[in-house]
Structure 1
Amino acid sequence: MDTNPLLTLPRLVDRLPGISGPEIVRNLVPPPQFAHATFESYQPDSAYPSQAATVKRLREFSKSQHKARVVGLFAKKIKTPESIPTGVYLDGGFGVGKTHLLAALWHEVPGRKYFGTFIEYTALVGALGYAAASEALTGASLICIDEFELDDPGDTMIMTRLLGALAASGTRIAATSNTPPNALGEGRFAAADFLREIQALASNFETIRIDGTDYRQRGLDGHAVATGEETYQAILGEETEKGLNVTDDSFPELMAHLAKIHPSSFVRLLDGVAVIGLRSVTATDDQTQALRLVAFIDRVYDAQIPIVATGVPLDQVFAGGMLNGGYRKKYLRAMSRMIALTSELA
């Protein structure tokens, strides 16, 4: 008789959440980790002056939005000073605080506003249709887009059209990415065929470069933690005894399960979860599966849920030369986050 106590733990693979268009709109706010992010709580690295300079520029952008709102009370159309761009685009490596600054800007700007990942906005269009999604967002003072990436031509066309319409109506736009706007899509699809659309996107933004090192790596050894089976069971048992909601899944089974769920619903998959257990982690050279894992880890990181894992260290799951391809920056960001998440309970 098998008396393994982990057999009684809930599994993520037993959940099959969905999310509607109206729910996506309601959830377009900064994740819990950045619910109270401010410019004051951001700590610029003195070794990289561009970090402090970015804070200063975003403060100016925020103040201009306050003024624009006042003008809008007495005019049919909000007027924007020529020196202030329609949008700002924070370009920098992972771990330099771009999401923190984006959330701080969101908190600072008055009025109806939205904050979401690129995937959430494209999912909103998919759920509601372009016209209804555009109507839901029109009139917002600010649209914040985290992790801006163009992975296929369809996304390019949708976001070009949507952002162009919102900007024309007076909405300001702020985005973060690891890729400069004029390089979006490189290595992923025939970017040259969509150059006009990509340039149209870039024209909406003032690009602000943020240099720096990954803050998640400070104090860490640079590798994701993989435990043995005995340690795995001990840690999950201890966390369960604290009354926490701990899940236990086979990594291959979870990867197969994620294929059944739209990435915009990954946040619902994690509802109430305090610790994630992953057994038998294996490397993959399947690009579709790898990108799905990146989207999942992004949501786990937003929710700050520790991971305990056995098998291959999670920062070594991207195999087959993936780190040399067009999605390199996405994979590196996920690796950084998995190192941090697996270090919390080690």
Structure 2
Amino acid sequence: MDSVLPPTDGPLPAYRARVAEGALRPDPAQAHAAEILQSLWRTLRGYDPRPTATQPSKGFFGKLFGAKRGSGDLAAPEGTPEGLYLVGAVGRGKSMLMDLFFDTADVPRKRRIHFHAFMQEAHNRIHAWRQANPGADDPIPPLADRIAAEASLLCFDEFQVHDITDAMILGRLFEALFARGVVMVATSNTAPQDLFKGKPGRDAFLPFIALIQSRVEVLYLESLQDYRRERIRGLPTWHHPVDGRSERALDAAFEELSGEKHGQPASLQVLGRSVPVGWSARGVVRTSFEDLCGRPLGPADYLALATHFHTLVLDGVPRLGPDNFDRARRFITLIDALYEHRCKLVASAQAAPDQLYEQGENAAMFERTASRLMEMQSQEYLGLPHLP
């Protein structure tokens, strides 16, 4: 995402202005984080490293993942600033603060991207490089060259590591990026020492955690207020019938919950497959009933969606019955996954939940799903924390 605002006096004045105009409530934890970001903003003014080529890295990541001599690397520019890793519970304003920092950052080359989308892009670039360079066996240096040429400041939203293929390349990739003078600012619900916790192969991932902790300041956002849950508790979540009014309501809900009008194309890695799931921003994903239930997806796909995103905005749930029972069965599985992980649902449908599947074979099976859909609209359910 490119900057949409010209450089100003930094994130702290921007934050204070929003509080003064009533757009934000005063929050001591957010104010403290804005002060830390302001200090980094000052350090980075005009930052534009131009590293020079040197010998290939001989660090522990190169040894760990088998980097080849002669693959090429870059020396870290002298005085490269530390980045920032902002960690806290969901809904505390981490993304909002990073947006203020990114929009005001006076850095010629900068980029803000959801971390999951960044890793998808990295895998795609590695695949393309291997196809263009048959026989070559180390795509990390050219990948790091390309990323560093695009941005010397990388701002990541929702830094999380769930996939073993991500874990296996992160160490060498970020060692190379930091060596090229790239500064990282990230938000996450997970402290660095807890990344990839409990996953097979985590011991090999620990050096990456050490690298992150050496290159960024970790700041815990201790705000007690979950602003995101407040927003969704004030929104209608089931709109029927499917028409222009309900479509506009879903547009407004996505923008209110994510802070963006459209988001970015999203996909999930499930059992070695890439599963497109619509458009997403800041933990909110928007897609259609047909995209989720008209394709041969299964419980693993819906589980991945329910755990990765805290809110699903779903367009166009039709009336269900024996004639489209395959879709109805997948919808039942989807709702079970959302419900079990307290994922929030905002949807447009042709009827109220208890009228979606009224008669015919398997109508009784749908009664539990209708009951869950009704409960998922309640203020009690909307106030529950997401279980990622």
Q: 1:55 aligns with which of 17, 34, 38?
A: 34
Indicate the residue corresponding to 1:160 in structure 2.
171
Q: Is 2:338 the partner of 1:317?
A: yes
CA distance in 1, matches of 2:92, 2:247: 36
Matched to 1:55, the amino acid is A
The alpha carbon displacement at 1:291 in A equals: 1.8
- Output the TM-score relative to the length of structure 1: 0.59
CA distance in 2, matches of 1:94, 1:241: 27
Indicate the residue corresponding to 2:214 in structure 1.
203
Indicate the residue corresponding to 1:96 in structure 2.
92
The alpha carbon displacement at 1:64 in A equals: 0.3
Matched to 1:187, the amino acid is G
Q: Could you report, residue by residue, the CA deviation over 1:319-341 in whole angstroms, capped at 9, with x for unpaired residues?
A: 3xxxxxxxxxxx56x549999x9
The answer (yes or no) to whether the contact 1:114–1:142 under 8 Å persists in 2 is yes
Q: Indicate the percent of aligned positions where both proteins have the same amino acid.
A: 21
Q: Is 2:118 the partner of 1:121?
A: yes
**Unaligned 5+ runs, structure 1:** 1-27, 32-36, 246-256, 320-330
CA 1:192–1:280: 2 relative to 1, 3 Å? closer
**Unaligned 5+ runs, structure 2:** 5-9, 52-74, 127-139, 252-267, 319-330, 348-372, 379-388
Q: Where is the strand percentage greater, Structure 1 or Structure 2?
A: 2
CA 1:290–1:117: 2 relative to 1, 3 Å? same
Matched to 2:124, the amino acid is A
Q: 2:103 aligns with which of 101, 104, 107?
A: 107
The answer (yes or no) to whether the contact 2:237–2:345 under 8 Å persists in 1 is no
CA distance in 2, matches of 1:184, 1:58: 23
CA 1:103–1:261: 2 relative to 1, 3 Å? farther
Secondary structure of 1:138's counterpart equals helix
Indicate the residue corresponding to 1:292 in structure 2.
305
- Output the TM-score relative to the length of structure 2: 0.53
Indicate the residue corresponding to 2:383 in structure 1.
none
The alpha carbon displacement at 1:142 in A equals: 0.2
Q: Is 2:148 the partner of 1:138?
A: yes
Q: Could you report, residue by residue, the CA deviation over 1:174-206 in whole angstroms, capped at 9, with x for unpaired residues?
A: 111100011101134442343223222332221
Secondary structure of 1:111's counterpart equals coil
Q: Which has the larger radius of gyration?
A: 2
CA 1:38–1:53: 2 relative to 1, 3 Å? closer
CA 1:210–1:64: 2 relative to 1, 3 Å? same
The alpha carbon displacement at 1:264 in A equals: 7.1
Q: Could you report, residue by residue, the CA deviation over 1:86-121 in whole angstroms, capped at 9, with x for unpaired residues?
A: 210000111111112222222222211111112222
Matched to 2:90, the amino acid is F
Once superposed, what is the RMSD of the aligned Cα atoms?
A: 4.9
CA distance in 2, matches of 1:145, 1:266: 20
Q: Could you report, residue by residue, the CA deviation over 1:196-220 in whole angstroms, capped at 9, with x for unpaired residues?
A: 2322233222101112222122265
CA distance in 1, matches of 2:269, 2:166: 21
The answer (yes or no) to whether the contact 2:95–2:187 under 8 Å persists in 1 is yes
Indicate the residue corresponding to 2:202 in structure 1.
191
The answer (yes or no) to whether the contact 1:147–1:175 under 8 Å persists in 2 is yes
1:168-187 alignment to 2 at 5 Å?
168-187=179-198
Q: Could you report, residue by residue, the CA deviation over 1:55-76 in whole angstroms, capped at 9, with x for unpaired residues?
A: 011011011011644x979xx9
The answer (yes or no) to whether the contact 1:145–1:175 under 8 Å persists in 2 is yes
1:251-270 alignment to 2 at 5 Å?
262=274, 266-267=278-279
Q: Is 2:243 the partner of 1:237?
A: yes
